[in-house]
């Protein structure tokens, strides 16, 4: 607390630094003049009591301060009867106030160009130290984020509606099997109900009177059911649970180029043999051997098979870089290329 009321004080109000816990300020009924400081160590709004009435023409630092003064001491502008007519100049401020602002301009929100430049540089240094805090990222960080996204899609492509030929073929096989089983079940039920209509001749008297006990069906019915299921999947792959990326496929199923598992396996085997033959005829291929360059610590692996979560294998051409003073090698992510 600071109570100096009715003490015939003159001059301007000091800045009152180093009073962070000040809760009461009583300066009323004195002869103080000039601009009320923009106190730095405490806030006028936090004072429980403030008395400034009956002084010699005090002036608010700014409109925000004036609003707070009106709330804390509605009579703060009233003048002391003992004030002379020369207490305040025609502009409402005293030379003492002007001198105070000149001596400590930062207390009144005024700063030199040097201080402004220093503040700018401090801000620049802060952004440079932690650019990510200000949503600024280097090209390296952006490239790393891109690569993370690519790797994520490669690891689980099905999560992003991407399917391999193997996936499509497997789903086609499952759909065919499901359709065949449904056809077989329908044939069985029909023959159980009426064996004669299926061309089945039985001598079992019980079967004639109780067809459900026969469990008989013809091969013709089985073949017909299989063909029905196959035709259904060809005309409408989606109804059989087959997912394809070709937009033309739903309207023109013949454009889907769906193949059987046997055909897919044969194509894989042919592609594999072609790769082996190419490698044998290319002197730069060197089979599946890796080469090591002791001058720069680089290992080149022209063919490395990498299985993924979709059940098939991809072959890559990669480079490894040796760490200084050790036998540890790091994969050079910038020089990975897909062979097949």
CA–CA dist 47, 27 (Å, integer): 13
Residue 328 has pLDDT above 70, yes or no: yes
Contacts of 194 (CB under 8 A, 6+ apart): 211
Q: Mean of the per-residue pLDDT values for the chain? A: 77
Is pTM, for the whole model, over 0.95?
no
Q: For residue 61, what is the enclosing H or E element? A: none
**Averaged over 247-260, what is the pLDDT?**
58
Which span out of 52-61, 177-186, 194-203, 250-259 was modeled with the highest average pLDDT? 52-61
Question: pLDDT higher for 182 or 99?
Answer: 182
Long-range contact pairs involving 309-316 (C-beta distance under 8 Å, separation at least 24): 309/155, 309/156, 310/157, 310/158, 310/164, 310/166, 310/167, 311/166, 312/164, 312/166, 314/338, 314/340, 315/275, 315/339, 315/340
Task: Measure the CA–CA gap between 72 and 188, rounded to whole angstroms.
Answer: 97
pLDDT-derived band of residue 103, with 50, 70 and 90 as boundaries?
low
Q: Is the pLDDT of residue 71 over 90?
A: yes
Report the candidate in 96, 102, 111 with the shortest Cα–Cα distance to residue 13: 96
Q: Mean of the pLDDT values across residues 161-180?
A: 67
Separation CA 275–CA 277 (nearest Å): 5
Q: Is the pLDDT of residue 93 over 60?
A: no
């Amino acid at each position: 607390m600071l109570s100096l009321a009715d003490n015939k004080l003159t001059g301007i109000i000091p800045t009152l630094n180093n009073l962070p816990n000040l809760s009461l300020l009583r300066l009323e009924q004195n002869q103080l003049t000039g601009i009320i400081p923009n106190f730095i160590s405490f806030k006028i709004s936090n004072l429980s009591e403030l008395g400034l009435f009956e002084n010699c023409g005090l002036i608010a630092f700014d409109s925000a301060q004036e609003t707070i003064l009106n709330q804390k001491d509605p009579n703060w502008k009233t003048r002391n009867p003992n004030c002379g007519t020369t207490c305040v100049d025609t502009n409402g401020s005293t030379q003492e106030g002007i001198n105070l602002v000149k001596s400590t301009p930062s207390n009144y929100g005024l700063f030199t160009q040097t201080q402004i430049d220093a503040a700018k540089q401090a801000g620049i240094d802060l952004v440079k130290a932690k650019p990510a805090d200000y949503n600024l990222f280097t090209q390296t960080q952006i490239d790393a984020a891109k690569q993370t996204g690519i790797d994520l899609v490669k690891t689980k492509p099905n999560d992003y509606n991407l399917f391999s030929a193997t996936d499509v073929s497997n789903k086609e096989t499952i759909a065919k099997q499901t359709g065949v089983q449904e056809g077989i079940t329908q044939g069985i039920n029909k023959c159980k109900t009426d064996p004669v209509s299926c061309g089945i001749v039985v001598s079992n008297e019980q079967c004639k009177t109780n067809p459900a006990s026969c469990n008989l069906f013809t091969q013709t019915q089985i073949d017909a059911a299989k063909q029905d299921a196959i035709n259904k999947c060809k005309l409408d792959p989606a109804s059989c649970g087959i997912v394809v990326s070709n937009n033309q496929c739903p309207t023109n199923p013949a454009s889907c180029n769906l193949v059987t598992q046997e055909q897919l396996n044969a194509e894989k085997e042919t592609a594999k043999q072609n790769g082996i033959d190419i490698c044998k005829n290319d002197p730069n291929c060197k089979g599946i051997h890796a080469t090591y360059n002791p001058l720069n610590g680089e290992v080149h692996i022209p063919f490395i098979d990498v299985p993924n979560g979709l059940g098939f294998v991809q072959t890559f051409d990669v480079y490894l870089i040796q760490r200084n003073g050790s036998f540890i090698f790091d994969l050079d992510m910038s020089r990975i290329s897909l062979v097949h």
